Structure 1
Amino acid sequence: MKLTNYQLFWLLFSMESGMTVMLVISPTFQAARQGSPLAALLAGGAALLATFVAAKLSLLYPNDTFVEYVPKIIGRWLGKTVVFAYLLLWIAVTGIVLREYGDFVHMALFDKTPLWVILLLMLLVIVYAVDGGIQIVGRCSEVIGPIIVFNVILFRLLSLKDLHVDRLLPLMPAGGLMPVLSGITPAASFMCESVMIVMLIAFVGNKRKTVASGLWGVGLAALVLLNTVMDTIMMLGSSVPAKLQYPVYSLSQYISVMEFVQNLDIFLVVGMSFTVFVKLGLYLFITSHGTAQLFRIKKRRRLLGIVAALVLAVALFPRNVDESQVNFPHFWKTVAYPVFLFGIPLLLWTIGSVRSRMNRADKPSAS
């Protein structure tokens, strides 16, 4: 199973863009209001930093996955404990992402269809793709990524007549810098999921351009987020988006060109379904493959069905939208984001770099 740097670029861009744009616009405006564009810009910077740290960490052991090299850095038992915690987190977030997607599609298109049917059908498609290996998801992203870019450009062109540039000012809200800083967290916590690159670099053939590919993929997704936040504030102002559950979906229904080009929300739903497919495919792969490596199971496919069943159970567990889109995101922002997406990778990179330098220093003396 091999990935190209081109596929890695589109993988990271595709998995970052869809759910982030759909779910973080409202909480960003709730916190930052008029400073939301600045908050989105800084969130993109935080995501680039997290991606850089994760990529540099993986390149210390370029042929090993996260499951294999963490015990080499901090010891066998502690390393396996950290890896097991990450696997549990990845299973949980896969289930919640699936549920958030199901809630959106259920609301937008299929309100008469049982929710579990939407979740199960999407999961079966993803399992079928992941069963063929990570390269299948990578090839799909090469098609899906450009489609997303086309959709973004299309929406921007069709919404030009409704944009009020004066609504972008002032860039800094009346409350000063603190609202902007609090508005960074919702978007950054989603975009820093690019840290999953710690499980992907081992499958990339040419490691020399891996860091650049990862940063470009996340950077383009950050630009899409910034563009969406700017469009939102120019069309709806800074107060209305904070009151909407899916502001971008509302924008897609708002666009009308000569009363002929309308109902563009279907393009948004299809585009989001594509990005969720890539995101869940990546999570399902790294979780099943990582679990197989941790427990020394040679055939990853044996675990794929078990992991998929656990993901479906997690997706069905929340009783309502508040539990899936309020309670879990609160845990994600306050615990997973600072600890698992930033803290632990940075600590592992620091320890691994020191140990690598010590080993290189000991080699001449040993000879």
Structure 2
Amino acid sequence: MLDNGKINSRQAGFLMFSFLMGSAILMIPSTVTSLAKQDGWLSVLIATVFGLGIVLIYTTLGLRFPKQSIIQYSEMILGKWIGKIVGLLYIWFPFHLGTLVIRNSSDYVASTALPDTPMIVISGLFLAVIAYGIRGGIETLGRVNEIILPFREPIVLLIVVLLLKDMKLGKLAPLLGDGVLPVLKGSFPVTSFPLGETVLFTMLLPNISNIRKLKKAYMFAIVLGGIFLTLSVISTLLVLGPSITSRLNFPVQSIIKVIDIADFVTNVDSFGMLLWISSNFVKIAVCYYCTAVGIAQWFRLSDYRQMVTPVGILMLIFSMTVYENNIEQSTFAATIWPFYAMPFEVLIPLFMLLVSIIRKLDGRGRGK
């Protein structure tokens, strides 16, 4: 069997929220401020609205085929051969995204805590732990995330509170100083990374028990994720200002290092590292799981677990070669990824939704 595990819509929404936080909360502040400067936080709010639209598209499509993933119902909607090609694309997308997040996580750990440790060792340990987790199925991931979440996010809010004395409101001025266009430009990369990447959660539909509440749960996750991402951008801008924020690879980590309360509460950046690693764990796990399950569905295998080890090895190899350095990675994320990812996130699901409506197809692949 592929995976008989079940999670409810609340657990699916929590998984999506952790997926959104992942590497995005580390990288989004520098990405949006390089385009929208002090108005970067507005870009995130606009992107959140676009993200809700994307969720509406792929959940409306998925709920027409509630017992199947996007790889399975693409054949019903588009025919066997075109559907097979589309299915292959949705195996590649989580695989590619997962390798990018693995490399980003390894770069982050190496630069902040383990500078002398070979990158392949860090990435290999990440993947070994995650491989063990996804062998337990989506139910294991959902429960582990649900346990971690109540401890993780309050610490994020505590960090913001501890930074209040170092924040200067003047660093957000002038509002819309360069007009609306830079804000809209800044919203584009945030829409694709990370909000649009949640299209991978169409793979989880067959494993969700109370699927009627799914759309509300996914939209809540997008709104909550948008709030936390906006908070991260505002915090970095208020502490560092737009000029410094736009030049840093991990500006959130930099502002955590600023925390100093009466020479008593200091050096808390290790907490930040643990927070972001736990979020990245979920994002990599979802990508890893979707790739393994997707391959099993594409080849009509009886058990996705036999794909876990080979997929992990390939992800490790690709993560070592996906880009040369952080500068290349940042450039790719800000300028190329939004255009590269948009067909996967919006165009293909929207096209399939329209075709399924025109052909009046339901989950059994025939007219209603």
> Relative to structure 1, is the Cα distance of residues 328 and 361 closer, same or farther in structure 2, using a 3 angstrom cutoff?
closer
Retained in 2: the 8 A contact 1:80–1:294?
yes
Q: Secondary structure at the match of 1:200?
A: helix
Deviations 1:15-42 (A, max 9, x none): 1013111012111100000221110111
Specify the alignment match of 1:270 in structure 2. 274
Retained in 2: the 8 A contact 1:14–1:148?
no
Structure 1 residue 109, shift from structure 2 partner: 0.1
Retained in 1: the 8 A contact 2:38–2:175?
yes
CA distance in 2, matches of 1:177, 1:23: 22
Q: Which of the numbers 87, 105, 109 marks the counterpart of 2:109?
A: 105
CA distance in 2, matches of 1:360, 1:279: 31
Q: Please say if 1:125 is aligned against 2:122.
A: no
Retained in 1: the 8 A contact 2:14–2:146?
yes
> Relative to structure 1, is the Cα distance of residues 167 and 324 closer, same or farther in structure 2, using a 3 angstrom cutoff?
closer
> Relative to structure 1, is the Cα distance of residues 357 and 4 closer, same or farther in structure 2, using a 3 angstrom cutoff?
closer
CA distance in 2, matches of 1:329, 1:303: 32
CA distance in 2, matches of 1:24, 1:227: 11
Read off the aligned partner of 1:219 and give its amino acid letter.
Answer: V
Structure 1 residue 99, shift from structure 2 partner: 0.5
Specify the alignment match of 2:145 in structure 1. 141
Retained in 1: the 8 A contact 2:39–2:176?
yes
Read off the aligned partner of 1:188 and give its amino acid letter.
Answer: T
Retained in 1: the 8 A contact 2:58–2:202?
yes
Retained in 2: the 8 A contact 1:54–1:197?
no
Structure 1 residue 188, shift from structure 2 partner: 1.6
Read off the aligned partner of 2:336 and give its amino acid letter.
Answer: F
Structure 1 residue 247, shift from structure 2 partner: 0.8
CA distance in 2, matches of 1:275, 1:220: 14
Retained in 1: the 8 A contact 2:107–2:119?
yes
Specify the alignment match of 1:320 in structure 2. 325
Q: Which of the numbers 52, 63, 87 marks the counterpart of 1:48?
A: 52
Read off the aligned partner of 1:321 and give its amino acid letter.
Answer: N
Stretches of structure 2 that go unaligned for 5 or more consecutive residues are none
Q: Please say if 1:218 is aligned against 2:200.
A: no
Retained in 2: the 8 A contact 1:50–1:192?
yes
Q: Root-mean-square deviation (CA), in Å? A: 1.9
Q: Please say if 1:30 is aligned against 2:17.
A: no
CA distance in 2, matches of 1:90, 1:4: 22
| Aligned pairs (5 A) from 1:342-361 | 342-356=346-360
Specify the alignment match of 1:12 in structure 2. 16
Q: Which of the numbers 53, 64, 75 marks the counterpart of 1:60?
A: 64
TM-score calculated relative to the size of structure 2: 0.94
Stretches of structure 1 that go unaligned for 5 or more consecutive residues are none
Retained in 1: the 8 A contact 2:189–2:333?
no
CA distance in 1, matches of 2:199, 2:175: 30
State, as a whole percentage, how many aligned pairs show the same letter: 30
Specify the alignment match of 1:333 in structure 2. 338
Retained in 1: the 8 A contact 2:31–2:334?
no
More deviation in 269-278 or 88-97?
A: 88-97
Specify the alignment match of 1:159 in structure 2. 163
Specify the alignment match of 1:95 in structure 2. 99
Structure 1 residue 329, shift from structure 2 partner: 5.3
More deviation in 42-51 or 112-121?
A: 42-51
Q: Which of the numbers 290, 303, 320 marks the counterpart of 1:286?
A: 290
More deviation in 70-79 or 154-163?
A: 154-163
CA distance in 1, matches of 2:205, 2:174: 42
Retained in 2: the 8 A contact 1:44–1:219?
yes
CA distance in 1, matches of 2:366, 2:280: 46
CA distance in 2, matches of 1:274, 1:311: 19
Retained in 2: the 8 A contact 1:9–1:214?
yes
Q: Secondary structure at the match of 2:174?
A: coil
- Report the count of equivalent residues: 361
Q: Secondary structure at the match of 1:319?
A: coil
Retained in 2: the 8 A contact 1:167–1:237?
yes
Q: Please say if 1:196 is aligned against 2:220.
A: no
CA distance in 2, matches of 1:98, 1:6: 26
More deviation in 144-153 or 241-250?
A: 144-153
Retained in 2: the 8 A contact 1:99–1:324?
no
CA distance in 2, matches of 1:12, 1:192: 11
CA distance in 1, matches of 2:365, 2:346: 27
More deviation in 175-184 or 162-171?
A: 162-171
Q: Please say if 1:232 is aligned against 2:236.
A: yes
Structure 1 residue 335, shift from structure 2 partner: 1.6
Structure 1 residue 238, shift from structure 2 partner: 2.0
Deviations 1:286-341 (A, max 9, x none): 110111010111121111111111111111113333343433654321221x2111
Retained in 1: the 8 A contact 2:41–2:234?
yes
Specify the alignment match of 2:185 in structure 1. 182
Specify the alignment match of 2:300 in structure 1. 296
Retained in 2: the 8 A contact 1:47–1:192?
yes
Q: Which of the numbers 204, 208, 215 marks the counterpart of 2:212?
A: 208
CA distance in 2, matches of 1:167, 1:92: 37
Read off the aligned partner of 2:180 and give its amino acid letter.
Answer: L
CA distance in 1, matches of 2:137, 2:55: 23
